[in-house]
Amino acid sequence: MKLKLSKQKISTTMLISMTDVIFLLLVFLLIASNFASQTGMPIRLPGSRTSDRQTLQSISIKYYSDGSIFYNEMQTTMAELQDLLKVDFVDSAQVVRISAERDIALQQVIQLMDVIRATGYEKIFVATEAERD
């Protein structure tokens, strides 16, 4: 039995499947998003043993023990904060992250949360640091 061998050139190009391309893009985006860093003034956050990492915040509010408030790295007052929040309000699903120093009284944080809720935001979380044993 004699086999025929053909020495013809392949004229078509080999293409990577679309799922491979999407997978590679997804891996690239996941790796690139982990290298984003935040800059700003250092803040001493209260500790918590049950804290979880939250990454989906759109608005950041920092409340310092001297009474200063920073809204997305811009210094403001409690009265101006409500106006700024109303301007940036898009949807009640937006997340507001509060970073309050550990020396601030709980009542002051509650007042800040009341101002945030009065403008329509429903998702508020208070940032904490993991406690060291």
Q: Count the neighbouring beta carbons within 10 Å of the beta carbon of residue 70.
A: 18
Give 39-77 pLDDT, tens digit per residue: 555 666 666 666 665 545 578 889 988 888 999 888 998
Note the pTM of the prediction, 2 decimals. Answer: 0.55
Q: Give 82: exposed, middle or buried? Use CB within 10 Å, 0-12, 13-18, 19+.
A: middle
State the pLDDT confidence band at 18, using cuts at 50, 70 and 90.
confident
Higher pLDDT: 73 or 34? It is: 73
* Tokens 């060291």, residue located: 132
| Beta strands per DSSP E along the chain | 47-48, 59-63, 69-71, 74-76, 95-100, 123-126, 129-130
DSSP 14: P
81: three-class secondary structure by DSSP? helix
Domain boundaries, the chain: 47-130
Distance separating alpha carbons of residues 112 and 100, to the nearest angstrom = 10
The CATH architecture of the domain made up of 47-130 is 2-Layer Sandwich (3.30)
